[in-house]
Structure 1
Amino acid sequence: MESTTGSPYTRFVALGDSQTEGIGDPDDNGGHRGWADRFADLLGVANPGLRYANLAVRGRRAAQIRAQQLAPAVALRPDLVTVMAGMNDIIRPRFDPAELLADLAAMFAELTATGARVVTFTYPDIGTVAPFVRLLSPRVRALNAQLRELAARHGATLIDFEPVAATTHPRVWAEDRLHLSPLGHDLVARAMAGTLEVPGADQTWRDPLPPVHRTLTEVVATELRWTTAHMFPWAVRRLRGISSSTGITAKRPDLRPVFT
């Protein structure tokens, strides 16, 4: 049933990995909030009857999201669904772009066939966020180009973060630079609200953030600290086959009211 307060969406389901789960944005109860929760709150103000499910699990690659989250999402019969997937594929040494695109295309096709509005996203250049991984920048740009094409082909709504300078601002990223900070999660939530024209939303998420001025010495020192504290431990976990998602399940597997 369509809302009488300006939003046509009553059943919102989010699919994805750690970004959609909300890692980097702690709540007050030992868990994680994240952009999807924040957006659900904004949408819920426009439609107090909104119900929301979040199936995302950290560490998941696109094939795992397709295998584990797609069918449960379809079964929930959403009228709005988001798919944020692919970054965990890109950062793996054994990256198969054809497999990634096939999984994304399959998810877009099945979800749009239900009649739901499907929203997906391009990614900021992670080589700008973390210069030591700049070799991965071509993968990100290639994926973004394919995401634009896939979204157009399947009638999905695309939020194009790549050209938005604010998305690579240091304050938008958590200390590990793999996950968004609370400010970054807020930016994505406002981008969703602005794109879907949620009542009261605007386009300020596109506005540039104040520049951070650092000397070359400070930049090098920061990069070395990040490499030691975050990149090397991450690489070691990958080599040992240790997954961040071990024992983790979806935090909100069922459609529940946003406000009770």
Structure 2
Amino acid sequence: MDMNANYTSFVALGDSFTEGMSDLLPDGSYRGWADLLAARLAARTPGFRYANLAVRGKLIGQIVEEQVEAAAGMSADLVTLVGGLNDTLRPKVDMGRVRGLLEEAVERLAPSCGQLVLMRSPGRNGPVMERFRPRMEELLTFVDELAERHDALVVDLYGAPVLGDQRMWDLDRLHLTAEGHRRVAEAVWQALGLDAEDDWRAELPPPVPVRWLARRTGDARFARQHLGPWVARRVTGRSSGDGRLAKRPELLPYETPELRTTGPEAPPSARL
């Protein structure tokens, strides 16, 4: 990889992680790490173009069917692909099929772009995630293998303990906060060989102890507002992304907005 490359176009593929949930903006839309990265790249490159094809809830088969061909046709300088994690969270999953589809996506995208970036997705700590951890780690090991075979770049978010801190995750315990997304953008930025703004791996200050009753109240709220609906969608075969279109389906010039940051000097408050 050319560490001094001038990226003039960027296409992001994936699910809710790349769509930007739960980095909520005042207008009700989501921003997220990909938008943040695009804004920083656009600030240094006149005429920079950006597309974000990611849609929440998408499985790797849907990403391949709905996003990969479109992204390959855009011939962007930079392409990011993060997918398959939603598959590992299903009660039943054929991991051989997941690996095959991910490989199909990488084989199609790698020759069509200047630099393909894959990620070892961040893993939240907690008893629910422990059930699915072996599948997740199998997927992430395969990501490493694909990257080596296809000269793709891997950003290791899973290996950063700070991204397992519950304060980096929203109330639904599935999506990163604004600070989490900011750190992911910084991680990709640095992986591309660009000048670091800060240490995205830096640990948060020790958390303020939370009383037992407050924790149990938070758990109950999480189960009612988030876990219950998530399980219901799994049982009925529905997805949060059903009928939803990508927020930036075309590779178009990107106007840099004013960036909202919550840098390491202002970590998010403890959650749940």
With the length of structure 2 as denominator, give the TM-score of the two structures.
0.86
Partner Cα separation in structure 1 for residue 109 and residue 121 of structure 2: 21
- 1:207 aligns to 2:205 (yes or no): no
One-letter code aligned to 2:203? P
Look up the match of 1:226.
222
State the 1:160 CA deviation: 0.7
SS at structure 1 position matched to 2:200:
helix
Partner Cα separation in structure 2 for residue 220 and residue 143 of structure 1: 32
State the 1:171 CA deviation: 2.2
Look up the match of 1:174.
170
State the 1:240 CA deviation: 2.3
Look up the match of 1:240.
236
Compared CA separation, residues 213 and 146, structure 1 to 2 (3 A): farther
**1:105-254 correspondence to structure 2 within 5 Å:** 105-126=103-124, 128=125, 130-198=126-194, 200-202=195-197, 204-214=199-209, 217=212, 219-254=215-250
Partner Cα separation in structure 2 for residue 245 and residue 115 of structure 1: 27
Q: Percent identity?
A: 38
- Contact kept, 8 Å, 1:48 with 1:259, in 2: the verdict is no
- Contact kept, 8 Å, 1:7 with 1:46, in 2: the verdict is no
Look up the match of 1:3.
none
- Which residues of structure 2 form unaligned runs of 5+? 257-272
Partner Cα separation in structure 2 for residue 253 and residue 51 of structure 1: 12
Moved more, 206-215 or 229-238: 206-215
- Which residues of structure 1 form unaligned runs of 5+? 1-5
Look up the match of 1:88.
86
Partner Cα separation in structure 2 for residue 229 and residue 28 of structure 1: 21
SS at structure 2 position matched to 1:239:
helix
Moved more, 80-89 or 232-241: 232-241
State the 1:118 CA deviation: 0.4
Compared CA separation, residues 210 and 194, structure 1 to 2 (3 A): same
* Count of matched residue positions in the alignment of Structure 1 and Structure 2: 253
Compared CA separation, residues 45 and 222, structure 1 to 2 (3 A): same
Partner Cα separation in structure 1 for residue 159 and residue 107 of structure 2: 26
SS at structure 1 position matched to 2:107:
helix
One-letter code aligned to 2:162? A
Partner Cα separation in structure 2 for residue 123 and residue 212 of structure 1: 24
- Structure 1 runs (4+) greater than 6 angstroms displaced: none
Look up the match of 2:35.
37
One-letter code aligned to 2:36? R
SS at structure 1 position matched to 2:46:
coil
Partner Cα separation in structure 2 for residue 156 and residue 211 of structure 1: 36
State the 1:132 CA deviation: 2.9
Q: CA RMSD in A?
A: 2.0
Partner Cα separation in structure 2 for residue 171 and residue 230 of structure 1: 17
Look up the match of 2:55.
57
Partner Cα separation in structure 1 for residue 31 and residue 40 of structure 2: 13
State the 1:175 CA deviation: 0.7
Partner Cα separation in structure 2 for residue 103 and residue 140 of structure 1: 15
State the 1:86 CA deviation: 1.2
State the 1:123 CA deviation: 2.0
